[in-house]
Structure 1
Amino acid sequence: MLISMGSHSSNHQRLLYYTKLLTSHVNQGRHEQALLLFRHMNASPELSLDPFVFPLALKSCAALIRPHLGTTIHSRITKISLLSNPFVGCGLIDMYGKCVSVSSARRVFDESPQRNIIMWNAMISLYSHSKDVSTALHLFDLVDVSPDASSFNSIIAALSESDDGSSKALAFYRRMEASHVKPTLFTLLALLPACVELAALNPIKEIHGYSIRNGIDLHAHLCSGLVEAYGRCGCLVYACHIFERMSVRDVVAWSAMISAYALHGKAETALAIFKQMELAKVRPDGITFLGVFKACSHAGLTNEALKYFEQMRTDYGVVADSDHYSCLVDVLSRAGRLYEAYEIIKEMPVKATAKAWGAILGACRTYGEVELAKIAGRNLFEIEPNNPANYVLLASIYSNAGRLDEAERLRKEMYERGMKKTPGSSWVVCYN
């Protein structure tokens, strides 16, 4: 009897030790080691695995995309009757959603005998991350337990990232407030992009004030987000105030300040901040250089833009994408160096965007360059076949050059495609 108790105690201590080690492996991202340890634990008949072990193993399966092992663990869970444990159920939902399909995860969710808010949140999160926001919202309305901040956060984030979803994200946040659920740091971070998209200054101030009252205003990610939000909305004083109070300024914060000044035509200040960033030994990224190029574009600093473009690639190893090339084309086009811009488009390793061709076409009208305008226009017609503005602009260039037959032919082509020129409109305020 004493030997048996000692053996049981020893096995329990081993299980605790292995569980702590397994937790450490998973939390540190050592998922291969975690699964090797789990296999060893599962193969030991003297160890009675508990509900704390299986969610950890399932998390590693999800991280490594191991659906076969995940389904094997599911069978083991079923065999030892742990399906009713909501934490185990949550691990299964997450694993199936990431390794197999969201519909497979939903089957596990629907068949679960007990669902706590963590399981509901896991399922809502899967729909949100798969861009199926309507189903996420529908499931949210079916929640039969009290929702928490996580229930709202994934939907707010998904709405903020979706087309035309910014106002809906803000409305859903108001619903969160009405439910007396306290926002978290993740709520504020998810909501900020929607506020920026809407240029909604008051909600940004509201988020800022809430963060101060709740002691999260000094969080680096939130500070960087607020700098960007205030900067994009034109409140450079507020953006600077937050930036200057930051004890640690990451690349996001520096980039946000550069972009804010570039956006509002303060190119010299934007480039001065970039110099300060380099002196602070913060390594710029692709977004940083987009701000730098925009500053150069607004100030007509063509040679400087070319210098920064080369520096970006050689000194910092940043691979130029279509946005970087589009900015460079825009800088050259604005300066009248149209054929240099055209050469960049021909030689760039990525497909030229409508933004790049549009920059050339717009500059062709300014500088009366007809032949290059024709090339730019035809490329735009392929990229944006239903955008009448490109047809109208090219027809205007033809007309200004006295090539009326070509202008008329283009208008006829536009008519045959069923496109109409968008009428201009304005607000006129009359005072009595």
Structure 2
Amino acid sequence: MTSYSSNYLRMVSLTKQLTSNVNQGRHDAALVLFRQIHSSLALLLDPFVFPLALKSCAATRRPHIGSSIHAQVTKLSFISNPFVACALVDMYGKCFSVSHAHKVFDEIPQRNVVTWNSMISLYLHYGRILDAIQLFYDMDVAPNESSFNNIISGLSGLEGDGPFKAIVFYKRMGTWGLRPNLITLLALLPACVNIAALSLIKEIHGYAFRNGIEQHPHLRSGLVEAYGRCGCLTYARYVFQSMKERDVVAWSSLISAYALHGKAKTALEIFRQMELAKVQPDEITLLGVLKACSHAGLADEALGYFAKMRDDYGVQVNSDHYSCLVDALSRAGRLHEAYEVIQGMPIKATAKTWGALLGACRTYGEVELAEIAGRALFEIEPENAANYVLLARIYASMGRHEEAQRMRKEMREKRVKVAPGSSWVVFQD
């Protein structure tokens, strides 16, 4: 065997080992191996080694090593390689800033659609959706499915008109001769849920069925959640029952759907079925269970599930779980117990938690606790007029009109204004 063949086989073996380290998250070991490869003068460096090393730099936040690799690939004229270019952009974005990444992006001599998508993804990663959209429009190559998927995903989670814009981008895919794939549908479903676009959810479901991707577990779980959030519980149950393997996401989605729409007994029965199926619940599952208890006024059941979360289910309690427990106790009129839960919280109570107590104080005419909850809310969200108005109404309902007037005066002094009501309608030609 010639020396060249021996070195080539050795390089292939080391590259496989490097790939394995990176894919399994052993980034420190990957960088040590990369240095060994680079220090061996006998080995002819493969351009595909550099993206692997750059990925490890990004994962471990090693900007100096990343900059050194940048100098090497520039010297070896590998920067025009799209895989190297994308890895460089990603590394600079995660180790330095998106501005540094864009500067590197501008220096790449030949940018293909993958390189453009990498830069767009970085802007979305930092929440700069408008910059990502502008970059999409600036593309000097034809976008592909990933280009659209990135933008749709970014827009779907935005408040306001973000979901509507996501749907517009989805509709535009066809003008480029592109067909939505699994990632497109998964990115689009949250937008549909946010605006309760049931007809579009059905369209997505039908498209997935016709194109052979409807059976993907992530999509089916997403459909269960989407149908459930829109109040179409029959469809949500149908999709769930058609699943051969139901993971924790699918079970949690169905439980949350019934809990959201006041079907507490059904939600809790589904949870019991989940336990019988030996599926380990997570924090989302237990949040749905607690919401079901809260909406049905099942305070004792909520306390029972809450007590079992850490010991029996191995789930870490967070602020949302506490909010649901406080809400369940408050709705049942057990306001002082709810306040004791807040006082005993190991984490700071959120506006949602205090808001649950304040709302129940009005129902049960509890002024003392209302004042405590109200003052806590004024500190957490001082510009939320609803808290001032609610406390003023509690005072007024108890005949304490001077305190009610004082609340309204305090609003004026702090220039807290009540937001006007609004609504929206989905219109289709």
Give deviations 1:25-48, integer Å, cap 9, x for gaps. 222333223222221211111111
Give the whole-Å Cα distance in 2 for the aligned partners of 1:81 and 1:393.
66
Alignment equivalent of 2:365, drawn from 332, 347, 368: 368
| Distance in 1 between residues matched to 2:419 and 2:152, nearest whole Å | 34
- The partner residue of 1:217 within 211, 214, 218 is 214
Query: One-letter code of the match for 1:82?
Result: F
Which amino acid in the other structure matches residue 61 of structure 1?
A: C
1:26-425 maps to which residues of 2 (within 5 A)? Answer: 26-164=22-160, 165-421=162-418
Greater CA radius of gyration, 1 or 2? Answer: 1
Q: Which amino acid aligns with 1:288?
A: T
What's 1:430 paired with? none
* Corresponding residue for residue 18 of structure 2: 22
Residue type of the partner of 2:189? L
Pairwise CA distance, 1:21: 2.5
TM-score by length of 1: 0.94
Cα distance in structure 1, aligned partners of 2:335 and 2:179? 54
Three-state SS of the structure 2 residue aligned to 1:217 is: coil
**Distance 1:426-1:320 versus aligned 2 partners, 3 A rule:** closer
1:149-199 deviation digits (Å, cap 9, x = unpaired): 111112211112223222221122122233222222111111111111111
Q: CA 1:422–1:94 in 2, change beyond 3 Å: closer, same or farther?
A: closer
Find the aligned partners of 1:320 and 1:272 in 2 and give their Cα distance. 22
In structure 2, how many angstroms separate the alpha carbons of the residues matched to 1:372 and 1:163?
Answer: 33
Inter-partner Cα distance in structure 2 for 1:300 and 1:272: 16
CA-to-aligned-CA distance 1:198-246 (integer Å, 9 cap, x gap): 1111111111112111211111111111100000001111111111111
Shift of 1:425: 8.6
Secondary structure, counterpart of 1:283 in structure 2: coil
Aligned partners of 1:81 and 1:288: how far apart in 2?
52
Whole-Å separation in 2 of the counterparts to 1:90 and 1:365: 57
Alpha carbons of structure 1 residues 142 and 423: separation in structure 2 relative to 1, 3 Å:
closer
Tell which deviates more after alignment, 352-361 or 114-123: 352-361
Shift, 1:418, TM fit: 2.9
Q: Which moved more, 1:263-272 or 1:6-15?
A: 6-15
Q: Matches of 2:254 and 2:246 in 1, distance apart?
A: 11
Instruction: Say which is worse superposed, 363-372 or 11-20, in terms of deviation.
Output: 11-20
Q: What is the CA–CA distance in structure 1 between the aligned matches of 2:10 and 2:325, rounded to whole Å?
A: 62
Q: For the residues of structure 1 that align with 2:197 and 2:97, how far apart are their CA atoms? A: 37
> Percent sequence identity over matched residues?
67
* DSSP-derived class of the 1:216 partner: coil
Q: CA-to-partner distance for each residue in 1:74-94, whole Å, 9 max, x for gaps?
A: 111122222222221111111
Question: Distance in 2 between the 1:121 and 1:294 partners?
Answer: 39
RMSD: 1.8
Deviation of 1:292 (Å): 0.6
What is the number of equivalent residue pairs in this alignment?
A: 423
Q: Deviations over 1:284-323 (max 9, x none)?
A: 1111111111111121111000000001122122121111
Q: What is the rounded CA distance, in whole Å, between the counterparts of 1:145 and 1:220 in structure 2?
A: 34
Query: Relative to structure 2, which stretch is displaced further, 232-241 or 161-170?
Result: 161-170
In structure 2, C-alpha distance between the alignment counterparts of 1:353 and 1:134, rounded to whole Å: 30
1:71 is paired with a residue of what secondary structure?
helix
SS at match of 2:281: coil
TM (norm. structure 2) is 0.95
How far, CA to CA, are the matches of 2:423 and 2:145 in structure 1? 42
Between 27-36 and 104-113, report the one with greater CA deviation: 27-36
Between stretches 351-360 and 118-127, larger displacement belongs to: 351-360
| In 1: Cα distance, 2:301 partner to 2:320 partner | 18
Point out where structure 1 has 5 or more consecutive residues left out of the alignment: 428-432
Q: Tell me how far 1:421 sits from its aligned partner.
A: 4.7
